[in-house]
Amino acid sequence: MHEYSVVSSLIEICEENAFKNKAFKIERIVVGIGERSGMDKSLFLSAFETFREESQLCKDAILDIIEEKIELECKECGYKFIPKEIEYGLCKQCGSKNLKITKGREMNLLSLEMIGENQDEG
Write the binding mask 62 to 101 for Zn ion: x where contact by CB under 5 A, - elsewhere. ------------x-xx-x-----------x-xx-x-----
- Min dist CB 101 to Zn ion, Å, is 14
Residue among 1, 112, 12 at smallest CA distance from 64? 112
- Min dist CB 81 to Zn ion, Å, is 9
Q: Is 51 in the site for Zn ion (CB under 5 A)?
A: no
Residue among 50, 44, 53, 63 at smallest CA distance from 6? 44
Distance CA(34)–CA(64), nearest Å, equals 14
How many amino acids of this chain bind Zn ion (CB under 5 A)?
8
* Nearer of residues 79 and 88 to Zn ion, judged by Cβ: 79
- Min dist CB 100 to Zn ion, Å, is 11
* Nearer of residues 76 and 106 to Zn ion, judged by Cβ: 76
Distance CA(21)–CA(42), nearest Å, equals 30
Distance CA(64)–CA(45), nearest Å, equals 9
At 110, the amino acid letter reads L
> What is the binding site for Zn ion (CB under 5 A)?
74, 76-77, 79, 91, 93-94, 96
